[in-house]
Structure 1
Amino acid sequence: MSELDSNPFADPVDVNPFQDASVTQAISKVNEITGEYNPFSATEMGTYTGTTIPVSAVSPSQPAVLQTSVEQSAQATVAAAQTNLIKQQEELERKAAELERKEQELQNRSTSRDSNSGAKENNWPPLPKFSPIKPCFYQNFEEEIPEDYRRICKRMYYLWMFHGATLFLNVLACLAYFTADAAKGVDFGLSILWFILFTPVSFVCWYRPVYKAFRSDSSFSFFFFFFVFFFQVAVYIIQSVGIPSWGNSGWISSISMIGSNLAVAVVMMVVAGFFTVNAVMGVILLKMVHSKYRRTGASFTKAQQEFSQGVLTNRTFQSAATSAATTAAQGAFSSNQGP
């Protein structure tokens, strides 16, 4: 009953769990083994000397390490710059050696050509030996044309050959045009004239100049080629258009024959396509030759100098000038002796 009479609202009895007999016994055993350690006690402080070490004395090498790293980075930058300059100098020396080699090749080629001019025989056009007509020109791409210009020079030669073949096919197409329409005899006659005239003239007027320009790096030959070949491209365009009564089997003439004779129209269209290919290839090769010309260092001033030197050293011009001067001197002397 005493438990039932207790006051439930009374303060509970404070119970310390650490006052338990088992806990107290365990703590006393630990203290006996380890003992109470106080780092600030006199016993523990007696082991130190009491001398204070400054911070600067602790790490005196830190600024030296930074200074060494900065010097190493500066040295690395200087070394990289020197390496770059050495590479640039080697590149310039290589280009200079290449230019010198090309100039030497040109000089050797011109010297050998001059020394062997009498020994070399003309080999173009390649005619048989029994033919009464002998070759008129000497042509050798491997010997006379530098390697950098050899491919473009051969392409110009192939364009000239394609040009001649197109003119020949134009004669056949105009012949078919004439058989289909008797009033187109003018076109057939002009086509024969264009084939006979333009084939050799194109060889002499624009192919040989570009061959000479690449062979001897002649500014005058380059300018002469550009002047003539520009008109040649314009002629290609006119021929591909096919204006009636102009002797060209172009698009206008071929389309006009579709209604009357389809077979002739097809033949004429093929030739018109050939003329168109000539025009396109002419424009492309003109740009390619111009790009090569800009790398050679040629100029209009050099062309004038070459022209003047060529005229003054021409034997025909010299003989004509000498004879004209002699005639004028004799006339002046006779007029003075007359009175």
Structure 2
Amino acid sequence: MSGFDSNPFADPVDVNPFQDPSVTEVTAAAADRVEEFNPFSENTTLSIQTAATIPAPTPPSQPAVLPTSQEPSPQGAVAAAQAELHRQQEELERKAAELDRKEQELQRRGTSAGRENNWPPLPKIFPIKPCFYQDFAEEIPLDYQRVCKLMYYLWMLHCVTLFLNLLACLAYFTTDPMYGVDFGLAILWFILFTPASFLCWYRPVYKAFKSDSSFSFFFFFFVFFFQVAVYIIQSVGIPKWGNSGWIASISMIGSNLAVAVVMMVVAGFFTVCAVLSVILLKMVHSKYRRTGASFQKAQHEFSQGVLSNGTFQNTAASVVTSAAQGACEGSPFCGPPSFLTLSPPAQAVALSADLHI
């Protein structure tokens, strides 16, 4: 009943939860530690240093894509570029020096129209002047100079062989007067074939290499093929043909050994000429294939060169005019041809067009 006796309206007992002994003990201990803490003491600094946190090790990172090749360093690229520029500069300087040298040489010798001929190299006091101009270093490209010089040496060997053939046929004639035909033909071959070979196959190949002329190449091949055949016939030495070849020299062994030996030497020269001519023919043909020449180009060069020649135009016009007048003479229905009123060059062009049709 004691519970019911209490006054509910009376002031309750003031209860402080923080006055609990356990709470007050913990609070007092914490306050003492805070008061004792001195951040400037040596022990506190040492404890802070020892209590420093150690960062956790990070795993090594790897690139997402492995490099396939190592790129050159910038210094190496710069050095390579400088070396390339230096090489190009040296090449340009060399070409400029070569151009200057050629320009000075041209100025010294004059233009091509006023250039003095230098072949054959005759003395100044000689009444006959040189007829051709020849300079391998100036007129022939560097790739063709060797072959062109070899052709020139072959021509000189050809002339020497013909002269030796003349002497051998002379000795052949002294042993027996019946061989006077060979001596006479040997003189004719020397006088005829020496300049003819120069004009018919050496100069064409020189002009072909000089101006890359397809027509000159084809003309050289046509003539030089027959020259090779002539060399073979001369080396064989058919009697009464004016050649001191193997057959004629062997037939003289029983009659006169000294003359036979001389004739055998000449036969050897003819054989060497034949072999060298075949080799050089193949060399010229290989060079010709690199020049881009063709038969169509040769036809075009021939037509342009012939039709533009004034002498040919005048001759063709006069021939056609005479033929037309002779055909129409005495015919009342045949008037003068219309092309007779044209100039000679126009007549030649009209004639060539008619022939082409």
Residue matched to 1:278: 273
Cα 1:118–1:177, aligned 2, differ >3 Å: closer, same or farther?
A: same
> For each residue in 1:53-108, what CA deviation from the matched residue of structure 2 results, as whole angstroms up to 9, or x when unmatched?
xxxxx9996xx66x522xx22898xxxxxxxxxxxxxxxxxxxx9xxx9xx9xxx9
Cα pair distance change 1:146/1:334, threshold 3 Å: farther
SS in 2 for 1:68: coil
Q: Within the alignment, does 1:137 sit opposite 2:104 as a pair?
A: no
> What letter is aligned with 1:213?
A
Residue 50 of structure 1 corresponds to none
Structure 1 residue 297 and structure 2 residue 298: aligned?
no
Alpha-carbon distance, 1:122 to partner:
2.2
Q: Whose helix proportion is higher, 1 or 2?
A: 1
Match for 2:245 among 241, 244, 250?
Answer: 250
CA 337–116 in structure 1, closer or farther in 2 if over 3 Å, else same = farther
Aligned to 2:142: 147
Distance 2:318 2:334 in 1: 22
Q: For 1:68, which of 65, 68, 72 is the aligned residue?
A: 65
Q: Percent same amino acid at aligned positions? A: 74
Give ranges in structure 2 of 5+ residues lacking alignment. 1-57, 72-91, 336-357
How many aligned residue pairs are there? 252
The residue that corresponds to 2:225 in the other structure is 230
Output the CA distance in 1 between the equivalents of 2:249 and 2:323: 61
Q: Does the C-alpha gap of structure 1 residues 336 and 121 become closer, same or farther in structure 2, counting only changes over 3 Å?
A: farther
Give matches, 1:216-227, under 5 Å.
216-227=211-222
Amino acid at match of 1:123: N
Distance in 1 (alpha carbons) for counterparts of 2:136 and 2:238 = 38
| Aligned equivalents of 1:301, 1:329: Cα separation in 2 | 32
Cα 1:265–1:329 change in 2 (3 A) is: closer
Q: How do 1:1-339 and structure 2 match up within 5 A?
A: 68-69=65-66, 72-73=67-68, 116-327=111-322
Distance 1:334 1:59 in 2: 121
How far did residue 185 of structure 1 move?
A: 1.2
* In structure 1, distance between residues paired with 2:316 and 2:136: 37
Equivalent in the alignment of 1:83: none
Amino acid at match of 1:155: L
Report the Cα offset of residue 129 of structure 1.
Answer: 3.3
The verdict on how the C-alpha distance between 1:177 and 1:317 changes in structure 2, with shifts beyond 3 A counting, is same
- 1:333 Cα shift? 9.1
**Cα distance in 2, alignment partners of residues 225 and 334 from structure 1:** 48
The alignment's TM-score, normalised by the length of structure 2, stands at 0.62
Aligned counterparts of 1:206 and 1:301: Cα–Cα separation in 2: 21
Cα drift, residue 292 of structure 1: 1.1
- Could you state the TM-score of these two structures normalised by the residue count of structure 1? 0.65
Report the Cα distance in structure 2 between the residues aligned to 1:184 and 1:324, rounded to whole angstroms.
48
Q: How far apart are 1:132 and its partner, in Å?
A: 3.3
Residue 207 of structure 1 deviates from its aligned partner by 0.2
- Which residue of 1 is the match for residue 23 of structure 2? none
Q: 1:305 to 1:180 in 2, by over 3 A?
A: same
